[in-house]
């Protein structure tokens, strides 16, 4: 058993432990996004100091550059990026299907989906590639990560009901193939066989529930994946664009029907207030580009000190933009209750605003560090 649910509060928050090849993590937790093996503007040791226990990287991007075989030859992704804690990789499916959206009907799609897998053109050089459920598993095993995601079909937020139904059926078919291939790869490898009477901790594979905002399709997809007995379950397709913001009915449903004894991962969500809501609906794992992406646009989160986490409101946090003129002369830190390096060392909004206006890298680093601290500290508070 890799996941143990240790406590469940009356408000729905679940506390558990997840054991991975690179250490134990307490849930709920947030994963800073390190798409190409680096969380933007942050060094691995800085992430540890901020309280990160796990990071997320992207299969699609690492496969195209520098290539999983190179990373494997250099000791795996952990050694390659200087990170000795757990790593989760998404399948790259979302990135691949995004190429199809960018290609458009007029210019011809960069993506072709068949039963076998998905053929796509690299966004780097236009070269053609094929992702099958089996190949995506092999890439992630070569990277040496702790938690793997199978290839799934992630429809856009404005997909038609027929398109969503087709995506669900193909996601289930690919999930079966991925699970079978993963099991063969793991249980045929000497590395994962019992030694000295003990089984080593092996990587984990999640199933990804799709189905758009259709409760019946979501329930069907979840039930089919549960039959396959994945190590954990992910809820995908709810953070792809604006049309999916009305997602809470689906998140609530997933919290009710996904196995209690398996970790639940709400993919790509979201703002701090989104995470608070989702944790109370039974979700355990989160990732999002917002804390780093917003920081690069000078936007930082400030905790509303007058609102308690126990309150069911949507304004626990406020987002401010330090490029606004009012902050040029503001002598206060971003958030007096924050423990990031900027706030903890008394660096003012005026100073950080000056750095950002001057396009100084330090400004981006300080804003990023601040936002990540807010997210990671929030997870600690939610555990009580």
Q: Considering 53, 90, 284, 335, which one is annotated as catalytic?
A: 90
Q: Considering 146, 284, 287, 335, which one is annotated as catalytic?
A: 287
Q: In this structure, are residues 101 and 161 in contact, taking their beta carbons and an 8 Å threshold? A: no
Q: Which two tokens stand for residue 3?
A: 């996941």
Annotated catalytic residue 142: no
Annotated catalytic residue 90: yes
**Residues recognised as catalytic:** 90, 287
């Amino acid at each position: 058993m890799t996941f143990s649910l240790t406590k469940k509060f009356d408000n729905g928050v679940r506390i558990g432990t997840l054991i991975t090849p690179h250490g134990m993590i307490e849930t709920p937790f947030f994963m800073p996004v390190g798409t190409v093996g680096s969380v933007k503007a942050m060094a691995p040791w800085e992430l540890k100091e901020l309280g990160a226990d796990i990071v997320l990287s992207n299969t699609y991007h690492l496969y195209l550059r520098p290539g999983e075989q190179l990373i494997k030859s250099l000791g795996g992704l952990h050694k390659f990026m200087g990170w000795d804690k757990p790593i989760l990789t998404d399948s790259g499916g979302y990135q691949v299907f995004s190429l199809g959206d960018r290609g458009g009907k007029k210019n011809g799609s960069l993506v072709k989906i068949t039963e076998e897998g998905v053929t796509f053109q690299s966004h780097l050089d236009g070269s053609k590639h094929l992702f099958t459920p089996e190949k995506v598993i092999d890439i992630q095993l070569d990277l040496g990560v702790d938690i793997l995601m199978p290839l799934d079909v992630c429809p856009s937020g404005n997909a038609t009901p027929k398109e969503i139904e087709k995506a669900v059926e193909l996601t289930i078919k690919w999930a079966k193939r991925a699970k079978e291939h993963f099991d063969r790869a793991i249980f045929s490898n000497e590395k994962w066989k019992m030694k000295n009477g003990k089984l080593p901790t092996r990587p984990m594979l999640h199933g990804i529930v799709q189905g758009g905002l259709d409760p019946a399709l979501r329930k069907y997809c979840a039930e089919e994946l549960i039959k396959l007995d994945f190590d954990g379950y992910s809820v995908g397709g709810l953070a792809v664009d604006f049309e999916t913001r009305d997602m809470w009915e689906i998140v609530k449903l997933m919290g009710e029907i996904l196995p209690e004894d398996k970790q639940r991962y709400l993919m790509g969500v979201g703002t701090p207030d989104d995470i608070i809501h989702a944790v109370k609906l039974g979700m355990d794992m989160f990732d999002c580009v917002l804390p780093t992406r917003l920081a690069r646009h000078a936007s930082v989160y400030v905790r509303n000190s007058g609102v308690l986490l126990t309150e069911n409101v949507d304004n626990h946090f406020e987002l401010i933009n330090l490029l606004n003129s009012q902050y040029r002369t503001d002598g206060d830190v971003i958030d007096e209750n924050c423990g990031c390096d900027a706030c903890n060392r008394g660096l003012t909004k005026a100073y950080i605003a000056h750095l950002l206006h001057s396009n100084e890298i330090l400004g981006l680093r300080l804003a990023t560090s601040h936002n990540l601290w807010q997210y990671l500290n929030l997870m600690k508070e939610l555990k009580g």
